[in-house]
Amino acid sequence: MNLFVGNLPFTTSDHDLRGLFEPFGQVDSARVITDRETGRSRGFGFVEMPDDAGRAAIEELDGSDMGGRNIVVNEARPKR
DNA sequence: CATGAGCGC
């Protein structure tokens, strides 16, 4: 399933994201979205993983603390 | 190359 991860610290990298979700299951892909013009982080990202692992990750990570901020994790919407 | 609600090229 596709997961949307928001409210991330600007210092969070795609690898950091993967490390967060790996404990819950196979991480198909994990990436933090960066601004195409400046390259700086937009503070949110996407993670793809099995359905069961995704549901577990949402319950454990949504609202959890990361870098001093409470991150948001929920199912992502279809790409625009 | 800036910044803080929002959904990726």
Sketch out chain A's domains with CATH numbers: 9-68 (3.30.70.330)
CA–C1' span, A10 to B1, in Å?
15
Which residues make beta-bridge pairs with A45?
A5, A32
User: Has this prediction a pTM greater than 0.85?
Assistant: yes
**Could you tell me if A69 and A7 are in contact, meaning their C-beta atoms sit under 8 angstroms apart?**
yes
- Taking all residues of chain A, what is their mean pLDDT, rounded to a whole number? 95
What is the mean predicted confidence (pLDDT) over A2-16? 96
Residue A6 CB-half CA count within 13 A: 5
Q: Which CA-bearing residue is nearest the C1' of B5?
A: A7
CA–C1' span, A33 to B8, in Å?
7
